[in-house]
Amino acid sequence: MLTDITSTPTTHPIYSVKLDGFEGPLDLLLHLIQKEEMDIYEIQIAKITDRYLEYVNLMEQLDLDVAAEFLVMAATLLHIKSQSILPQTASDSEHPIGNQEQLVQQLLEYKRYKEAAQVLDMYAEKRTSIYNRSSKLHADLDETRTYEIKATLFDLLTAFKNINDQITQLESDDDDYQTVEEETITVEDKIAYIESQLGREDQLLFESLFPLSSSKIDLIVTFLAVLELIRIGKIVTVQTGLFESIYIIKTVDSENSASTA
């Protein structure tokens, strides 16, 4: 069960982050299949549908501008899940992906396209250097960061969800936990804070932005600030491997604009 993280006194959206520059529903499905360690040819459709709906729900709770295609895929998964429970002999023309076999084929085709695009991106990045590998990387990371991959929106959502779950568990275990009135926090404030931290350090661990003492509203605003910085090209997020720790690094353009200011 996904914990509701948006129970705030205000009824107005905190900040609207459009997802146009991020990944789509097939990326989310591939992410969840890898996370659950499933064989793409033998997807546990009931489990993957539940996980997918959790993430769509989380994106909506965060006031992200969820594209209609995410909701279409949710309806498609529910349709396929219902078919697995109550098999239907007649085809359903309302759903472009009518059954699990068609879903697998679409995922495989998209996966091949995505892998080819990633190879091209890798060669492009080698020529243009999206971000600098600083010679002053933290000493404790020198040996572990032998290679890096970009962290996707869904990697960030997974890390955020894990942090939120930890804090929720701590609050439920703490009998003396009290709700205190807090200062108004804006996404703009958090953006300024993250940029100031990156002015002092070459990189930030994503988790370090979310101390366990954080309030729910603080978690949400910080996460939205990270997404906005990615969207406008000020930072990139990288991992040393799938589902590994995420690091935040300033882009070259961001560093150049700061030095000429």
Q: Residue 97 domain-assigned?
A: yes
**Residue 160: which CATH number?**
1.10.10
Question: Which pLDDT value is given to residue 11?
Answer: 39
Asked whether the predicted pLDDT for residue 226 surpasses 50, the reply is yes
**84 and 152 co-located in one domain:** no
Domain that holds residue 208: 132-174+181-261
pLDDT band for position 256 (cuts 50, 70, 90): low
Question: Which pLDDT value is given to residue 19?
Answer: 58
**188 and 87 co-located in one domain:** no
Cβ atoms 38, 44 nearer than 8 A: yes
**245 and 145 co-located in one domain:** yes
Q: Residue 229 domain-assigned?
A: yes
Q: What is the mean pLDDT of residues 73-82?
A: 91
**61 and 159 co-located in one domain:** no
Question: Which pLDDT value is given to residue 177?
Answer: 52
Asked whether the predicted pLDDT for residue 146 surpasses 50, the reply is no
Tokens 């300024």 belong to which residue? Answer: 192
**167 and 246 co-located in one domain:** yes
Question: Which pLDDT value is given to residue 259?
Answer: 55
User: Which of 67, 93, 128 is the last residue in one of the domains?
Assistant: 128
Question: Which pLDDT value is given to residue 216?
Answer: 86
Which residues is 235 bridged to in the sheet?
A: 250
pLDDT band for position 137 (cuts 50, 70, 90): very low
Q: Residue 92 domain-assigned?
A: yes
Q: pTM here? A: 0.74
Q: Residue 21 domain-assigned?
A: yes
pLDDT band for position 135 (cuts 50, 70, 90): very low
Q: How many domains does the chain have?
A: 2
User: Which of 128, 158, 193 is the last residue in one of the domains?
Assistant: 128
Q: Residue 219 domain-assigned?
A: yes
Which distant-in-sequence residues (6+ apart) come within 8 Å of 144 by Cβ? 240
CA 195 to chain centre: 20
Say how far apart CA 44 and CA 23 lie, in whole Å: 22
CA angle 23, 169, 176 (to 5 degrees): 140
User: Which of 94, 128, 162 is the last residue in one of the domains?
Assistant: 128
